[in-house]
Amino acid sequence: MSSRPDLILASASPRRLALLNQVGVEPEHLVPAHVDETPEKGELPRKLAQRLADLKALTAQHKARIAGFGSNALVLGADTVVAVGRRILPKAETMEEATDCLRLLSGRSHRVYTGVTLITPSGAKRQRLVETRIRFKRLSNREMEAYLASAEWRDKAGGYAIQGIAGAFVVKMSGSYTGVVGLPLNEVTQLLAGEGYPVHFNWLNQSSHSGV
């Protein structure tokens, strides 16, 4: 009987790991893939999200092979891009960047693209690109100042985290909430199950942990 593949998550993001754990998936290995996320000249937001997801998965696969593991592993990479029209917003690292992002998002709609790439043990590449539309309320100066003071924006695409305080800014959303957080669970679980990863195994044991 062939052994099931291990799962390598090409990320150091606690958010992505928590999302997988939420649906009973625990990667055997975490292999952070630090790549250059600079958009290419004229690159559209959706293309950037998918290209970076591919690059992260390939980078993690390479690192695992060099370290001597992962020959029978699925490698999962993901990247999230926030955009207003064709304009790609940065992962805010400074107060100025975060301020610019908030001012641009205030009172208007934007899109969040999350690319997902799953590389199989045979080297096949499975991809998904999930688009979510979000509209923010018009933010007052006091709200902006308070949010900036929270520092929740740091290293977040578009300068905000929907699962945190910024959830209070969302007037309307159409698409995948988990995709905005960083990993669209519907698409990811389908990809994993399609490659023989036992996504549903831990679900069968949930009742024993819930006190039922």
Kindly tell me the burial class for residue 181, based on how many C-beta atoms sit within 10 Å of its own C-beta (0-12, 13-18, 19 or more). buried
- pLDDT of 212 reads 43
The range of the structural domain enclosing residue 110 comes to: 6-209
CATH of the domain at 51: 3.90.950.10
> Is the residue at 1 inside a domain?
no
C-alpha torsion sign, points 20, 26, 28, 30: positive
> Is the residue at 96 inside a domain?
yes
pLDDT, tens digit, for every residue of 70-120? 889 999 999 999 999 999 999 999 999 999 999 999 999 999 999 999 999
> Is the residue at 39 inside a domain?
yes
Is the pLDDT assigned to residue 1 strictly greater than 90?
no
Instruction: Clarify whether 6 is annotated catalytic.
Output: no
What is the reported pTM?
Answer: 0.92
Distance of CA 11 to CAs 75, 118, 183, Å? 10, 13, 11
> Is the residue at 94 inside a domain?
yes
- Strand pairing of 73-84 and 6-9? parallel
> Is the residue at 40 inside a domain?
yes
| pLDDT bracket for residue 4 (50, 70, 90) | confident
Catalytic residue (one of 6, 79, 100, 155)? 79
Q: Cα separation of 130 and 54, whole Å?
A: 14
The count of domains in the chain is 1
Tell me if residue 174 falls in helix, strand or coil.
Answer: strand
Tell me if residue 151 falls in helix, strand or coil.
Answer: coil
> Is the residue at 168 inside a domain?
yes
Tell me if residue 102 falls in helix, strand or coil.
Answer: helix
Q: Cα separation of 147 and 206, whole Å?
A: 37
